[in-house]
Structure 1
Amino acid sequence: MSESNLTTRKIYSEKNSNLETIETDAKESEPKNMALQKQVGLISGISLIVGTMIGSGIFISPISVLSNTGAVGPCLIIWATCGVLATMGALCYADLGTMITQSGGEYSYLREAFGPIPAFLYSWMSIIVVKPSSFAIICLSFAEYAATPFYPGCVPPQIAIKCLAAVAIILITLVNTLSVKLANYVQNLLTAAKLLIVAVIIVAGIVLIVQGNTQNFKNSFEGSQTSFGSIGLAFYNGLWAYDGWNQLNFITEELKNPYRDLPLSIIIGIPLVTICYILVNVAYFAAMTPTELLQSPAVAVTFGDRVLTPVSWLVPLFVVFSTFGAANGSCFTAGRLTFVTAREGHMIKILSYINIRRLTPSPALMFNGLLAIIYIIPADINTLINYFSFASWIFYGLTTFSLIVMRFTRKSLRRPVKVPIIFPVIVTIIAVYLVLAPMIDSPDWAYLYCTLFIVGGLIFYFLFVYFHFGWIRKIMKPITMHLQLLMEVGPAETEK
């Protein structure tokens, strides 16, 4: 055991005699190294990427992408371009992830390239806003599809959707808290289910095209919109469907063979998702006109009602599985980011502890779930998506830029995967465009609030991290101790 672990146990035995029994029982069942275990292989890695990417996006974003492009042709181009961009970004992250083999994704890379302040601002934004809001968005989508069959002919009430989303958040958090293997089994099973429904939609679309339903593809660029901001918003919503391409980098320490599994999972998973997304959209346009698609409350369900009439109930059922699987993947990786950030001293200490019996970062997972429940209160999913995308692409661009910087400042680091430098250059330039385009074309107070929130993190950094006042430690020490007892968690050991 590490020195910190032994010290913690000594304090406990002085405070509470019952703790000695708890610690003894835990010691018998825990492995020699109390740390997150390497339990994620290649199949689970691919499932995490594919399962997180194919979630609610492909069933929600087609409407937003089409409304911002105005025509079928540019809509399909946006979907293909988003896939190429996601692949390039993920390959840049594979370079970073095999060079810096720490969990935490962007947090670890920004800290290595630029120091603690940019890393803290990323973790501040991601842990407090981006990760839990993403979790909330996916669970709201899950709830909408799950509730629809119980309200035939009308839209489900918001209170029912939000309550169901909250239940989903609690259940997913519980699964991830109980066991890493259980979370992986759930992810693999639901990924197989979502690929099945995607395959059904694609095959049905091919049949429609063979039967001659190609009228929506004629004059496919007529009425298209090409403004600076509308294309940016179309990319936002398309990339929201692709979000998840960077998820494996958050759990690098838990990969059985990161040098092989990380790049292979990316090379297999993201092109597969890209092909599926393009073909699914082709299937939608084979069954519906652009106007009908824009008016559909649930695109996939409308497609099922029109094309798969005898078994149309399968579509909402499998969409429920799909969104639940994406939410599970989002929760899994968000917990690791919070865990690593707290381990480095940039979040409260209790979030860096792991369960002494199950070896899962349960405090970090519970914290993410609690914030996600708060974020289901807003009703407008599209606003959340735009807010999420704007904030995310600030740091996606900064992270790919860090790869360029470290080519010159960290030449001695081992690079098992080395992508052409043009890749991070392109992704960085596109990230700058995606951040600036909506603000220039359609200024909104939300962008200012988001920027102020990120910059405002500096106040917390200097107050609670940089200066780390003694009175704060005195207040937090008993709180941390009692939470540690209640949750049966302890400090994780790290490899020296």
Structure 2
Amino acid sequence: MEKQREEGPLKKKLGLFDGAMLVMGSMIGSGIFIVSADIMRNLGSGYWLIVVWLITGVMTIAAAISYGELSSMFPKAGGQYTYLKEIFGKMMGFLYGWGLFTVIQTGTIAAVAVAFGKFTAYLVPALNDAAPIFQSGSYKITWIQILAIAVILLLTYINTKGVESGKWLQNIFTGSKIVALIGLIILGFLLVKSNFWTENMSLGWSAFNNLKTDSGGSFLKAGWESISGMTIMGGIAAAMVGSVFSSVAWENVTFVSGEIENPKKNVVRSMVLGTSVVMILYLLVNFVYLNTLSRDGIAFAPNDRVAVVVSEQIFGNGIGTIVMAILVMISTFGCVNGIVLAGARVFQTMAKDGMFFKSALDNNKNGVPEKSLWMQGVWASVLCLSGQYGNLLDMISFVIVLFYMITVFGVIYLRIKQPNLERSYKTWLYPITPIVYLLIGAAFCILLLIYKQQYTWPGLLIVLLGVPVYFYINRNKNAGAD
């Protein structure tokens, strides 16, 4: 037979190095090259820019360390979906899977693929200059969107050829972008003539301190003395939407636990190693931004592309743009591949539980869930055409953190409810590590609910729409049983 069912044993084709590269490759997309502009606009201080990235780093690594305990207890495909289902029941698992398919995984694939297309347009200006293929009012389909879809479908096809194909592609592209980022960091300190570090740090802890608009007017003339602590916390929460989004998707390695050698140990090692390396790189890249550009230069970089402006300062206008365009293309291409590779395994696991299309359960002759991959790829392509991927991703940072919090809480819940379960790995510094994540995550979510509701309710609504779908699926099951 050409096809095999998911129930058959999966071949362990991913080692520790592959897992770590999947973590890093899935995390590093286009965000680190862009979001620092928005963070600076929200807070207006080099110190606070660093604080936001430090908080995000602590959150990310604390979550990865906590997830490690669950990965050792449930070392099978499906990752976070499996953890939530096993701890809190099928509905919680389904709502996560529903959110993952409708927007979290597929929306990320679409947004990062479009970022690939936009930076390709630096090298091929005709992509930007070409008339839209279709336009009706404000809605339009551009060649950049078509290129994004082509990338999604190409990487989906490559991943249908087996884990080995996706693995080697992932390792090559992740290795390339890590080397390139390290090069950017080193050259950013060695070759830049104008040093703005002292100027940026002289602003001290004064948030919103006389930040200028791009037209030269005053953005907000206020210092620390006249701003309440809650206002600054609200600014931090709003600023963290970008840094959090740039730091998610590390949990993708848990989705492919069934294909990782010695998953009880290697999944947690991959997560902790991968997240730590990426967050250190992110922090160093932001040091380069602060060293190379003025505060307003960061805040009002054209199209928020801070890294492009920095690269132009390092290499000169023409070469700098090309260098950064190539780096972001490599980064986004590898990021899409990692997310494509991992996501389909969740939908396959959901299908096994009767929570997704039954055909997603099938493995092809290469031992991978081909139909699940294509379902994911087609829906991500639809989101590319919708033009709403950027808005959707702004909305879901809140939901992503909410699911992270529920999962991290699951570590504490299981320790209390089932203390005698086998745990080959236990969370470092328990209960401090999960509590730290829960406190920061709760503050982030509450502040967004207060100050930036446009980032919260829409994403929450998308997930809650899964509730009637869940009951509909189970109603059909019950009817079949009768």
1:108-137 deviations in Å (ceiling 9; x for gaps): 111111111111111111122211001111
Deviations 1:393-443 (A, max 9, x none): 121111111111000112232111111122112212322222222221133
CA shift for structure 1 position 328:
0.6
Gap change, CA 1:327 and 1:391, over 3 Å in 2: same
Matched, 1:218 2:201: yes
Distance 2:29 2:72 in 1: 27
Alpha carbons 2:21, 2:174 under 8 Å: kept: yes
Corresponding residue to 2:315 among 308, 313, 330: 308
More deviation, 294-303/314-323: 294-303
CA-based RMSD: 2.5
Alignment of 1:370-409 (within 5 A): 370-379=378-387, 382-409=390-417
Q: What's the counterpart of residue 339 of structure 2?
A: 330
2:198 pairs with 1:191 = no
CA contact (8 A) 2:85 2:92 kept: yes
Deviation at 1:228, TM superposition (A): 3.5
1:361 to 356, 365, 369: 369
User: Which residue type is aligned with residue 188 of structure 1?
Assistant: N
Which deviates more from structure 2 when the two are superposed, residues 462-471 or residues 176-185?
462-471
> 2: distance between equivalents of 1:207 and 1:75?
22
- For the Cα contact (< 8 Å) 1:216–1:285, is it kept in 2? no
Distance 1:371 1:32, change over 3 A: closer
The one of 434, 450, 463 equivalent to 1:440 is: 450
Question: Is 1:263 aligned to 2:268, yes or no?
Answer: yes
How many Å separate the matches in 1 of 2:117 and 2:395?
Answer: 21
Deviations 1:250-286, CA, capped at 9 Å, x for gaps? 1111111112312222232222111111111111222
Q: CA deviation at 1:189?
A: 0.2
1:292 paired residue number: 297
Partner of 2:385, secondary structure, is coil
Which residue identity does 2:174 align to in structure 1?
T
1:153 CA displacement: 12
Contact 2:265 2:425 in 1 (8 A): no
Q: Residue 142 of structure 1 aligns to which amino acid in structure 2?
A: F
Q: 1:417 aligns with which of 396, 420, 425?
A: 425
Structure 1 208/455 Cα, relative in aligned 2: closer, same or farther at 3 Å? same
Answer yes or no: is the 8 Å Cα contact 1:34–1:359 preserved in 2: no
Q: Which residue of 102, 112, 119 corresponds with 2:86?
A: 112
When normalised by structure 1's length, the TM-score is 0.84
What residue is the counterpart of 1:430 in the other structure?
440
Residue 429 of structure 1 aligns with an amino acid whose one-letter code is L
1:280 match? 285
Q: Equivalents in 2 of 1:223, 1:378: separation in Å?
A: 40
Candidates 82, 85, 98, aligned match of 1:124: 98
The residue type equivalent to 1:335 in the other structure is A
2:60 to 86, 108, 113: 86
Aligned in 2, Cα 1:211/1:290: closer, same or farther, shift over 3 Å? closer
- 1:454 matched to which residue of 2? 463
Partner of 1:73: 47
Counterpart-to-counterpart distance in 2, 1:104 and 1:210: 49
**CA contact 1:197–1:315 (8 Å) conserved in 2:** no
The answer to whether the 8 Å contact 1:70/1:224 transfers is yes
- Could you tell me how far apart the structure 1 residues matched to 2:475 and 2:81 are? 17
Query: Does the 8 A contact of 1:135 with 1:327 survive in 2?
Result: yes
Could you tell me which residue of structure 2 aligns to residue 178 of structure 1?
161
Q: Secondary structure at the match of 1:418?
A: coil
Change in 2 beyond 3 A, CA 1:111/1:304: same
Question: 1:76 Cα deviation (Å)?
Answer: 1.2
CA distance in 2, matches of 1:104, 1:220: 47
Q: CA deviation at 1:227?
A: 3.2
Q: Does 1:349 align with 2:358?
A: yes
- 2:459 maps to amino acid: C
Secondary structure, in 3 states, of the residue corresponding to 2:78? coil
Residue 201 (structure 1) aligns with? 184
Q: In 2, distance between residues paired with 1:87 and 1:307?
A: 31
Segments of structure 2 that go 5 or more residues without pairing to the other structure are 133-140, 209-230
- Asked whether the equivalents of residues 10 and 259 of structure 2 are also in contact (C-alpha less than 8 Å), the reply is yes
> Are the structure 2 counterparts of residues 34 and 117 from structure 1 closer, same or farther at C-alpha, using a change threshold of 3 Å?
closer
Question: In the TM superposition, what is the alpha-carbon distance from 1:468 to its structure 2 partner?
Answer: 1.7
Amino acid at match of 1:113: I
Check conservation: 1:232, 1:434, Cα contact below 8 A.
yes
The letter for the 2-side match of 1:316 is A
Distance change in 2, residues 1:217/1:32 (3 Å): closer
Distance 2:173 2:154 in 1: 15
Which residue in the other structure is 1:8 paired with? none
Whether the aligned pair in 2 keeps the contact of 1:131 and 1:334 (CA below 8 Å) is yes
Paired with 1:152 and 1:305, the residues of 2 have a C-alpha distance of: 21
Q: Once structures 1 and 2 are overlaid, which stretch shifts more, 406-415 or 424-433?
A: 424-433
Alignment partners' CA distance in 2, 1:268 and 1:32: 29
Alignment pair present for 1:141 and 2:115: yes
Q: Across the two proteins, how many residue pairs are aligned to each other?
A: 444
Change over 3 Å in CA distance of 1:270–1:311 after alignment to 2: same
Deviation at 1:88, TM superposition (A): 0.5
| Cα 1:290–1:326 shift into 2, 3 Å | same
* Equivalence map 1:53-72=2 (5 Å): 53-72=27-46
How far off is 1:469 after superposition? 5.5
